[in-house]
Chain A
Amino acid sequence: MTIIPDLKLNIKKIKEISGGSSDVLINEFVTGNIHCALLCCEGMLSTATITELVLEPITNIDAKKDSHELFHYIQNYLLLSVDRPEAKNYDSLFRLINSGFAVLIADGINKALAFGVQGYAVRSISEPSGEGNIMGSHEGFVETVRTNMSLIRRRIKSPELVLELFIKGEKSRTDLCLCYMKDRVPPELLKKIHKSLDNIQLETILTTGYIKPFVESNNFELFSSTGTTERPDVLCSKLIEGRVALLIDGVPFSIVIPKLFCENFQTLDDYAFQPYYSTFIRWIKYAAFLISVLLPAVYAAIVIYHPELLNSTLLMLLVDAEQKAPLSIVTESFFVLLMYEIIREAGIRLPKPVGGAVSIVSGLIIGDSAVDSGLISTPLLTMSALAVISGFVIPELNDTVTILRLSFLIAGGIFGLFGISILACAVLVNICSTEDYGFPYTAPLSPFKSAGMDDTAVRAGIQKMQSRNFTVEEYHE
């Protein structure tokens, strides 16, 4: 609905739409002999900024013929703020008010002027909590999309970097920002992502999980084909490779499209250390992933069905330990892994001081007493702990790894290595079928791209990697 030119009716309509909400402030005043009103949302703007930059100059305007002349004067002769959009209907008017703009309406004109004087309380830039790093930047994304945009812009000053702001969410009217390098991004990918985003029909967008289903394929995928990062430097490296990122206002994470399986094992520190050390660390991560998923299952399968794989000393040691435990190996393993998940969940949800206490109770009291009482065998607890700790090496895959670990344990416990092999086939096929926008998740391993091995099997020198101007388009099928 377009804005009503009559000020009184206009204000009445605004109050009606807002339902008399207490935080919508309407300040009526006269300037240039025209009756006006300045609308804002309490707590969303900076009082100092609005007083100094808007209120002071706007109330000292000489008499004007009509409101059109007044708006023309304000727009062309007063530079009250750098961001000065216009609103022609109530939808955009309320979006601006609720985004922290001060909005000016006047008698006799069917539009409104907005001034960007946002000043709501925001969390300051701090170190990312989930993506630890030794040698790189210690800045992480915050909840404000515009701050996050500036964090990216500071790192890529090229005019090729495009930051497209748009709004989604029928009720939340959330700001989203699509980021890409226009000279690197595959045009087809960008087109398809735009199309996917057009299909978003949501009331609210509160986290990345609300958007992901719209930009991922609808097939059942064990591993997510879109990545998330809370580090602006990591995001910049992805943008340079021709990927597309999506920032969401209110979420300190960005979505990266497309994502490849091998990227789960890459961190920014890999590029800070010597290539030979980074290669070593990368293979440690691959091993950690396999240990994390398979170790409890392989342990159960070997001890129950394939003891011939062990040498006699180790076999006797395990037999001796397992004989004392009252439960079967699979039950024991399942119990230990489930207990770990419960303790982990408790540690995350509880306040931090209590979370520390949970660690002490679980680690020292439950763990120690369970072994001492003979309820759980020491080798099994060691294997479970090793598997869990290995999972910490690749935190982004934690959810998938947890489910896979338990599934493989059941398969290995019932069918031995045959069960593990069969389940591994199904998982392998699932990973290989994961593909979004024509980018296979398993590239460059399968389909094999030898050039991609520079940053997968090994970590080649930076000069070599940057000289070939790699973009993700190379993996497109």
Chain B
Amino acid sequence: MLTFVLRRLGSAIPTLFIIVTLSFFLMRLAPGGPFNLERPLPPQIMENLNRTYGFDQPMWRQYLIYMGNVVQGDLGPSYIYRDRSVANLLGEGLGYSIKLGGLALLVALVGGVLAGLLAALRQNRPLDFLIMSGATAGVTIPNFVIGPVLVLIFSITLSWTRAGGWGTGSFRDLVLPVIALALPQLAVFARLTRGAMIEAMSADHIRTARAYGLPARSVVGTHAMRGAMLPIVSYLAPCAAGLLTGSAVVETIFAIPGVGRYFVHGALARDYTVVMGTVVLVAVFVIVFNLIVDVIYGLLDPRVRHD
């Protein structure tokens, strides 16, 4: 197991290298640069900016310089947020995103699996339909609709919660963004759990266990759950990576100071270094979570071997 983890971590380095290289050139292929503003800059000033940030160098040199800095752990300055470095921007925002995303992940996972279990155990009964309808609505209604509606009800009409901003990070401040962020994922977990549970319970060994008179709870808890966990665990990796690196939509609607906004805003403003920072961030999260998931596979089902 340890050699497997180490080998995977080793293979992360070339993966990251490819990601950074591809992203670097992909970004430079897009039209415009960070200084193509609605108000065009006089050539003189453009020249000063280009010189300051090294855009006057040939592309391959810019790439080598950038790679050299990245290897030393320097992600460079932001071209838009001129007082700040990428490390500084992402460093300040990531804490907020991880806290919000972590809470949302917890809510989605616990709530979704419980709801899915309930639905599976009451298959094709009213409770099942109720939960699955809720789940379908949850996946379907986008969070740019759910977010504002929640605010209208709970912040403006009832004055129970905060309408936006991080505030002090209390329950009252964060409950709405967490719900908006968690709801679609909760629905996904509920559907995956229900489907997998129904399948697992109909499997022969479960039927056998039941036929032998093992108590229902133990059958569900130990036998069925193990098999049913697989798709949930598989989905956990992209879901966790997505939630923890912030959501541009939810952060914008609730004015959360996280890093999610940089994915879209950074790209629209051609803030290359900031976008690269987000790329590296996502890559690291995805690689790490995929590794964790692969390890869990082995623990859940000893037949899964990493060879």
Q: Does A pair with B? A: no
